[in-house]
Amino acid sequence: MGNGRGYALVTGASQGLGAALALELARQGFGLLLTSRRADALADVGRQAGALNGGRVQWLAADLFEPDAPARITAWAEGMGVPVTCLVNNAGQGLWGLFDELSLGDQQRMMRLNMEVPVELARRLLPRLKQARRGYVLNISSMSAYTAMAGFAVYAASKSFVLRWSRALRGELSGSSVTVTAVCPGSIITGFTERAGMQALDRLARRFGTGPAPVARAAVKAMLKGKAEVVPGLMNLLTARIQGCLPDRLNERLTDTIYLRRLPRKR
């Protein structure tokens, strides 16, 4: 595997799943264009990935909450003069809490990051991806895409959006050289829970979660095979399959026991 893979643009590459995806893509022979807000953390991941792919790594610090960030990132990637063959829409965040208690602005920013940014990046980069002999879009959704989740309402809905959009885009691109893969991980031990204000669930997340490396391996493997959707981990896959057989109301009651009942109430 060599330079033939081209370059992958990875968002949210400074830590967690994004950093693990960057390292796995480097191992599989991709050059890397990495982005997130923190330059130091990106440089760190960039150095590790460079040791795996012969130093074919560039990074750009950008805040995806800024309206022009996707355009700037795309212009930067295209200006590199390298073949961009893969887009990994990984950057995302959660917000745990009741819809009418969480700030509207925070929820709107999350919707922007989780939904609009992936759509905009894909729309801007698709012409470039289509030029490749083989092009890939890897969208990070979540197992929370499979059911409505009280206490995690907007986040779970945003991940359903990612999954459905991803599958539909894949259908539109069938017959082209580009495949679209959605990844629906269960709990991964990263900075996600802390940033989502889910400290009260941290012990549970650590007990049932996995590290990001196996999730990244499963995600990249599915992407290279051109699969539509993957749920990494056997237990997660079984859970998703069982969920698929149950009525919505039952699935919602089950998620209530974790995400609604354990929610620390404001006085």
Residue 58 phi/psi, 5° resolution?
Answer: -130, 155
Closest separation between CB of residue 65 and ligand NAP, Å? Answer: 4
Toward ligand NAP, which CB reaches closer, 3 or 93? 93
How far apart are the C-alpha atoms of 155 and 196, rounded to whole Å? 10
Closest separation between CB of residue 246 and ligand NAP, Å? Answer: 20
Toward ligand NAP, which CB reaches closer, 10 or 83? 10
Toward ligand NAP, which CB reaches closer, 54 or 191? 191
Specify whether the CB–CB gap between 52 and 30 falls below 8 A: no
How far apart are the C-alpha atoms of 86 and 74, rounded to whole Å? 12
Nearest to 232, CA basis, from 157, 109, 140: 140
Closest separation between CB of residue 64 and ligand NAP, Å? Answer: 3
How far apart are the C-alpha atoms of 120 and 90, rounded to whole Å? 13
How far apart are the C-alpha atoms of 184 and 205, rounded to whole Å? 16
Spot the catalytic one: 7, 146, 155, 259. Answer: 155
Q: Which residues bind ligand NAP (CB under 6 A)?
A: 12, 14-18, 36-38, 41, 63-65, 90-93, 113, 140, 142, 185, 187-188, 190-192, 195
Question: For residue 143, how many C-alpha atoms fall within 13 Å in the half-sphere facing its CB?
Answer: 22
Toward ligand NAP, which CB reaches closer, 91 or 138? 91
Toward ligand NAP, which CB reaches closer, 83 or 163? 163
Closest separation between CB of residue 267 and ligand NAP, Å? Answer: 28
How far apart are the C-alpha atoms of 9 and 86, rounded to whole Å? 6
115 residue type, one letter: M
Closest separation between CB of residue 260 and ligand NAP, Å? Answer: 18
Task: List the structure tokens of 129.
Answer: 């991806």
Is residue 155 among the annotated active site residues?
yes
How far apart are the C-alpha atoms of 179 and 169, rounded to whole Å? 9
Nearest to 203, CA basis, from 158, 262, 246, 124: 262
Question: Catalytic residue numbers?
Answer: 155
